[in-house]
Amino acid sequence: MNLYSTKHQSPDVSLEEAVFRGLPPDNGLYMPDHIPTLPLSFFENIQNLSLTEIALEVSKALIGDDIPEADLKRIIDQSITFDAPVVAVEPDTYVLELFHGPSMAFKDFGGRFMASLMSYFLEKSAKEIHILVATSGDTGGAVAQGFYQTPGIKVTILYPSGKVSDIQEKQLTTLGANVTALEVDGTFDDCQRLVKEAFLDADLRAKFNLASANSINISRLIPQSFYYFNAYARLKHLGKPLVFCVPSGNFGNLSAGIIAYRMGLPVRKFIAATNSNHIVPDYLATGTFEPKPSQETISNAMDVGNPSNFPRLLLLGGGDWESVKNLVTGVWYDDAKTQDTIRRVYENTAYLVCPHTAIAYQGLKDVVAEMNEDVTGVFLSTAHYAKFLPTMEATLGTTLPVPERLAELLDKPKVATPMTTTFADFKAYLLQ
Ligand X SMILES: *Cc1c(COP(=O)(O)O)cnc(C)c1O
3 state SS of 115:
helix
Write down the least CB distance from residue 307 to ligand X, Å. 7
- Going by C-beta distance under 8 Å and a sequence separation of 6 or more, which residues neighbour residue 7? 24, 26, 27, 28
Q: Cβ-count burial of 202 within 10 angstroms (0-12 exposed, 13-18 middle, 19+ buried)?
A: exposed
Query: Which CB, 179 or 383, lies closer to ligand X?
Result: 383
Q: Would you say 157 and 135 are in contact if contact means Cβ atoms under 8 Å apart?
A: yes
CB closest to ligand X, residue no: 138
Write down the least CB distance from residue 68 to ligand X, Å. 29
Query: Which CB, 107 or 234, lies closer to ligand X?
Result: 107
Instruction: Give residues in contact with ligand X (CB under 6 A).
Output: 105, 107, 137-138, 215, 247-253, 301-302, 356, 382-383
Query: For the chain, how many residues are written?
Result: 432
Query: Which CB, 247 or 377, lies closer to ligand X?
Result: 247
Query: Which CB, 84 or 105, lies closer to ligand X?
Result: 105
What's the Cα-to-Cα distance from 212 to each of 194, 200, 254, rounded to whole Å? 12, 12, 20
Give the amino acid at 193. R
Write down the least CB distance from residue 242 to ligand X, Å. 19
Q: Would you say 118 and 218 are in contact if contact means Cβ atoms under 8 Å apart?
A: no
Distance from C-alpha of 185 to C-alpha of 300, rounded to nearest angstrom: 16
Query: Which CB, 135 or 150, lies closer to ligand X?
Result: 135
**Buried-state track 167-200, b at ≥16 Cβ within 10 A, e below 16:** bbbbbbbbbeebbbbbbbebbbbbbbbbbbebbe
φ, ψ (nearest 5 deg) of residue 193: -65, -45
Write down the least CB distance from residue 340 to ligand X, Å. 19
Write down the least CB distance from residue 99 to ligand X, Å. 8
Query: Which CB, 105 or 259, lies closer to ligand X?
Result: 105
The question of whether 337 is a catalytic residue gets the answer no
Write down the least CB distance from residue 302 to ligand X, Å. 5
3 state SS of 386:
helix
3 state SS of 86:
strand
Query: Which CB, 154 or 384, lies closer to ligand X?
Result: 384
Phi-psi region for residue 181, left (φ > 0), alpha (ψ -120 to 50) or beta?
beta
306: closest CA among 185, 189, 157, 134? 189
Q: Would you say 208 and 16 are in contact if contact means Cβ atoms under 8 Å apart?
A: no
Write down the least CB distance from residue 259 to ligand X, Å. 12
Query: Which CB, 365 or 387, lies closer to ligand X?
Result: 387
CA dihedral sign of residues 265, 328, 274, 358: negative
Catalytic residue of the set 107, 269, 365, 387: 107
Write down the least CB distance from residue 131 to ligand X, Å. 17
Cα within 13 Å of Cα(89), Cβ side: 29
Distance from C-alpha of 422 to C-alpha of 185, rounded to nearest angstrom: 10
> What residues are annotated to the active site?
107
